[in-house]
Each structure stands twice: as C-alpha cells, then as structure tokens.
Structure 1
Amino acid sequence: MKFPCRLDKFVSNVGELPRTKVKSLIKKGNVAVNGLICKKNEQQITASDDITLNDKPLKYLGKRYFMLNKPQGYVCANHDELHPTVFDLLDEPNLKDFHIAGRLDIDTTGLVLITNDGDWSHQITSPKKQKFKTYLVETKEIITEEALFDLRQGVALHNEKQLTRPAQAEALGKYALRLSICEGKYHQVKRMLAAVENHVVELHRENIGGIELDNDLEAGQYRPLTEHEIRIINAI
C-alpha cells in the first residue's frame, strides 16, 4: 500500500472489508482518524495516522516477507476454484496485497517466497536480474554426462527460438541432479529435461537468489524472512 491514500481504501485493505461496506461505515461515523470521527471517504491519510474502526485500531503492518515450504497439491495463486492455494497455508492478517515471487507447479514442492513488496519481488522475477533458482530433480532415466553438458551449455525448448541460458547442473546420483537456472520460462525444468531425452519424476526447489529453504520447515509450514535474507535479494 502506498501513502498517502484514501481513508476508504485503507480501511478496506487493512480491515479486509468490501469498499462499499467501508463507505457505509465511514458515513455512519464508525471510523476515526487520530481520535476524531471522519466521514470523508476521500480523506488522505499517512502511515503515521492512527485509524480506528468501531474503536478498534487498524494497523498497516508494512512490507512483509515469508518463505513457505510448498507441498504437492497446492497452486501458486491468490485464488483458485479447483485447488487449495499456498495462501490457504498462511495464518496472517491483511494478505490482500500479497503475491508470489516465483511460482511453482501444483506437483512441485519446496521454496516459495510471498511478499507485498513489488519492488523486492521484481528483483527475483525480472530476467534482467538473473537470479538463480535451484532445484532438486528426480528423473525417470539415468542422467548422462552428455545431458549434463547440454544443460550447462543451454538447450533448445519446444517452440522456443533461443537456447536456454547456461544452467548449473550437478549429478547427485544415477537418477538425481541439482539444477540451477536463472530464467523462469513456463515449466522450464521439465522442458529442459525433456530436451535431453529425460523426464522429471519429482521436482523440489531449495533456493531462490541465495535464499535457502529452511530445513526446519515441514511441508506446508512457513516463517518470516530474516533481515539478512531480505537483503540478499537486493544485493547486486
């Protein structure tokens, strides 16, 4: 949320109420600004103003950042009519303005970053920033040295004119590898493995731009990012 902003927008956002209902509450005198009843929807307020609704304070919590260990079966979306979303796993107030910085497929597990800071998430998602995302990949076929070489050089994806950018690829076993990419094309890891005549069986993200998934987080659990982790993304 950017300040200054309209009073009705603030109350609607922080109070998680429809704007039409908020306007009615303001008109009835249920909202106060710095202790004084305010009946003007368009009243401009700042982050330092004290706003109350029915004598209860409404506090904008500022920019917030979370890491989540996404389980299978959840989609990375704010709303979905068919599946539960990662936001269903967050027990936090005022999530209306939050978004996902780097989505995962419904069957992919691991690190998801959720924030209401658009500038910060842009550092992750912008192709120009080239932030690496690291995945643990279990494959159907044996991983060959030739496949690793091709992944490190860049491979041709179906319906793509240019090769993928060079990836970091490390074999962890006959059917497992760690793959780091700095792009975010649709189903990219799965398509890259298909390009080297293999198939992804399981996919788990463990790192985004230097932020490592906390090993203490079970599937479905989350925690706020530390100040250090937040700064990592903004580092050049």
Structure 2
Amino acid sequence: MRLDRWLGNRPELGRQLARRLLAEGRVRVNGATTQQAEQEVFTFDRIEADERLLQDGPGGRYLMLHKPRGCVSATVDARHATVLDCLAADQRADLHLAGRLDFNTTGLLLLTNDGQWSRGLSHPRHKQTKRYRVTTAEVIPPQLVTAFAEGLYFAYEDLTTQPAQLELLDEHSAYLTLVEGRYHQVKRMFGRFGIEVIALHRDRIGALPLDPALAEGAYRSLTAAEVAVLRPAD
C-alpha cells in the first residue's frame, strides 16, 4: 500500500494530518525519514510518525539457499530430507518456500516468513522469470530455440506452454528461461524431442542471481536491495 494511504487510514491520524506529517518530514520507515507519499509499505516495515511507533513489523526473513541434490522442496517430509534440513535449527521457524525445485534439481531457492512477498513472486500475472542451466544426454538441435519460443502443446493438460527463451551454450547444454513452473516442465519440454535432461540447475529468479559464493547446501540472508528487486511493483 502507498505510504500516504496507509497513514491516512490510521484512525489516530486521518488524511489531512498524514499529508502534513509527510510534507514536514516527520515520518520514518525502517529508520529512514521519508517524504515520499507514493512509497510502498508492507507488513514487515517499521513505521513511525513524530517518534511514535505505528507499526513494528515482526521481522521479515528472506533467505537464499543453494539447494543441493537429493532433498525435497518442502518443510516436512516423512521419507526424505527437506531443504529446511540445510538450515541451522534455530533458523527454520516460521519459514516457507517461495517456489520449489525438483528432488535432484540444484540451485537458487528462496525461503521467507513473508507471505505477501512470496505470493507476489509466484503470481502468474507478474511473469517472474526463472533461468535454468540444462545439461542433456543427447545433442540439442538449434530448431529447439524456435520451438520453445513458440510454445509446446501438451495434450494431457490441454495447454500450451508460455514462450520460453533457449540459449544454446554447446551441443549438450543451454540456458532456458521460463515464466511458469509446471510439473517437470523442463524435462518434459526436452523430452518432447527425445532429449534426456541429465542435470538441471536454477541460477536466477528475475533479476536475482544465485550467489556464486554459496556451495550446495549453503544459504545466506538476502540484502534489503535483493528483497526489493523481487517485490512486484503492484
């Protein structure tokens, strides 16, 4: 919500006082004074006016994990290790996954306790891109670049995939950028042409790359700028 609207909706302020507080530089968001009426504010922001605390966000947590092979993208699983097992025990509380990766797929996975942020990441209307490095057993023919860009029809679901960008790296590897994440989509797209995917690694979500310093199974907190770059504009 816009900051001016958020302040104006507060019963102790009202619209006129909210506008005056902003104009006079008497509002702080996350410790920084602001006069930007259009600034977006969220559940986890700390908002003050005249040193009075109006909202003390419970503390948004945003983690980047380099998911290893052989673990489930879930918070609980009766048979397999989950991605939460990669985290220190005191880091796991209240987290959920902002997206998922298949059991043997590696790469960038995000975890958070901010439901609004994660819903924005996954909502189809935002068309958040995800890039994968694909390694195949068979040679990748150049005509797949056009085929993937046009979309592939899958009769079982009666759907056509969204246009995807394929960038060939060599005969057996490529980058594939998608704006959707259907069940085993990458493997099924290549499988349509008799090509087996033998390794799959996600290295980017939107404008956020996987930190190259993170080994498989390692994680770190996102910076404020990284959280913001993945937050939808609306």
Aligned to 1:176, which of 162, 173, 176?
A: 173
Aligned to 2:194, which of 188, 193, 197?
A: 197
Aligned to 1:40: none
Q: Distance in 1 between matches of 2:147 and 2:203?
A: 22
Aligned to 1:217: 214
Deviations 1:182-228 (A, max 9, x none): 00111111111112331211000001121100000001100000111
Where in structure 2 are the equivalents of 1:47-58 lying within 5 Å? none
Describe the shift of the 1:74–1:158 C-alpha distance in structure 2 as closer, same or farther (beyond 3 A). farther
Aligned to 1:128: 125
Aligned to 1:143, which of 117, 136, 140?
A: 140
Where in structure 2 are the equivalents of 1:1-236 lying within 5 Å? 62-91=59-88, 93=90, 95-236=92-233
Q: Distance in 1 between matches of 2:190 and 2:122?
A: 22
Gaps of 5+ in 2: 1-43, 45-56
Q: CA RMSD in A?
A: 1.7
Kindly report structure 1 stretches of 4+ aligned residues shifted beyond 6 Å.
none
Aligned partner letter, 2:176: L
Per the TM alignment, residue 158 of structure 1 is displaced from its structure 2 partner at its CA by 4.9
Aligned partner letter, 1:172: L
Per the TM alignment, residue 96 of structure 1 is displaced from its structure 2 partner at its CA by 3.5
Q: Distance in 2 between matches of 1:86 and 1:168?
A: 28
The question of whether the paired residues in 2 share the 8 Å contact of 1:193 and 1:200 is answered with yes
Query: Percent same amino acid among aligned pairs?
Result: 42
The question of whether the paired residues in 2 share the 8 Å contact of 1:135 and 1:179 is answered with yes
The question of whether the paired residues in 2 share the 8 Å contact of 1:150 and 1:196 is answered with no
Per the TM alignment, residue 235 of structure 1 is displaced from its structure 2 partner at its CA by 4.3
Aligned to 2:16: none
Gaps of 5+ in 1: 1-46, 48-59
Per the TM alignment, residue 157 of structure 1 is displaced from its structure 2 partner at its CA by 2.8
The question of whether the paired residues in 1 share the 8 Å contact of 2:134 and 2:175 is answered with yes
The question of whether the paired residues in 2 share the 8 Å contact of 1:67 and 1:111 is answered with yes
Q: Distance in 1 between matches of 2:190 and 2:228?
A: 32
Structure 2 SS opposite 1:185: coil
Q: Distance in 2 between matches of 1:122 and 1:172?
A: 33
Superposition TM-score, scaled by structure 2 size: 0.72
Per the TM alignment, residue 97 of structure 1 is displaced from its structure 2 partner at its CA by 2.1
The question of whether the paired residues in 2 share the 8 Å contact of 1:76 and 1:103 is answered with yes
Aligned partner letter, 2:63: F
Per the TM alignment, residue 61 of structure 1 is displaced from its structure 2 partner at its CA by 5.8
Per the TM alignment, residue 91 of structure 1 is displaced from its structure 2 partner at its CA by 1.2
